[in-house]
Amino acid sequence: MTSSELWSRETADRYDAEEAANSSPAVLGPALDFLAGLAGGGRALEFAIGTGRVGVPLRERGVPVTGIELSEPMAAVLRRKADKETLPVVIGDMATTVVPGDFTLVYLVYNTISNLLTQDEQVTCFENAARHLVPGGRFVVELGVPPLRFLPPGQVAVPFDVSERHLGFDTFDLVEQVLISHHFTRDGDDGPYRRANSRHRYAWPAELDLMARIAGLELESRVADWDGAPFGQDADKHISVWRKPL
């Protein structure tokens, strides 16, 4: 059984509205360009496809996309946008679920690999990606860089969003390598604040590279964003590409 937390129907129904800014053409376009280029006319498999924020528009660009999704309510929202012939989705966890066929691209975006709360599960996820890839195929992961340098001695919390309708901060367990994201979101202009939190296992880029090596993949590139900015010490996230050898 995967350690990923299961997204409820209530969360799934409001997900697209809350992520509207991240679904705009200006934000999503570079990611679609990046992924479509790597697919190279082949098939793509999205781990944790969710409501199809990325998978549906990538399919509309002509890339055949299949998804794996743990949450049936999230997949049900996707199904309102694309039927099963257009975009097949298998219900299961991304670390062990196997779907038919081979793929030139497997991708996992928006920090979602951190939903797997153990190192063993994250390694197994890499192995599952490699299992689905054709020789020369690529596995892409988008993941934030842990902001631990913002933690002075004795502090365990780092804010990541302080705005009119949302307060978000992460608390860290440095021993277990787990962070909890806390969200206080206001419903409407004068509504009450709704509280939610989620657990994540953070990992450094170097640790992911070792996971990839265990799975038989080789690092091909690493950039700081979907536009291809160089990855450096000030980057707050990375998009990494590992390749299955020919």
Residue 204: is its pLDDT beyond 80?
yes
Res. 189: pLDDT tops 80: no
State percent of the chain over pLDDT 70.
Answer: 100
Residue 69 identity (one-letter amino acid) = E
pLDDT reading at 7 higher than 70: yes
Rounded to 5 degrees, what angle do the CA atoms 56, 143, 208 make?
120
Burial class of residue 168 in the structure, from the number of CB atoms within 10 Å of its CB (0-12 exposed, 13-18 middle, 19+ buried): middle
Q: Write out the two tokens for 109.
A: 């975006």
Instruction: Provide the mean pLDDT of the chain.
Output: 93
Mean pLDDT of 24-47: 96
DSSP 167: E
Q: Per-residue pLDDT tens for 71-90?
A: 999 999 999 999 999 999 99
Alpha-carbon gap, residue 231 to 223, rounded angstroms: 5
- Least confident span in 25-39, 101-115, 119-133, 174-188: 174-188
For the sheet containing 166-173, what is the strand order?
157-162, 166-173, 178-186, 193-201
Cα 167 versus chain centre, distance: 21
Which runs of E-coded beta strand occur in 120-245? Answer: 133-144, 157-162, 166-173, 178-186, 193-201, 218-223, 237-243
Residue 53 banded pLDDT, cuts 50, 70, 90: very high
Q: By CB neighbour count within 10 A (0-12 exposed, 13-18 middle, 19+ buried), where does 133 fall? A: buried
pLDDT at position 1, please? Answer: 55
Amino acid at 107: Y
Does 215 score more than 70 pLDDT?
A: yes
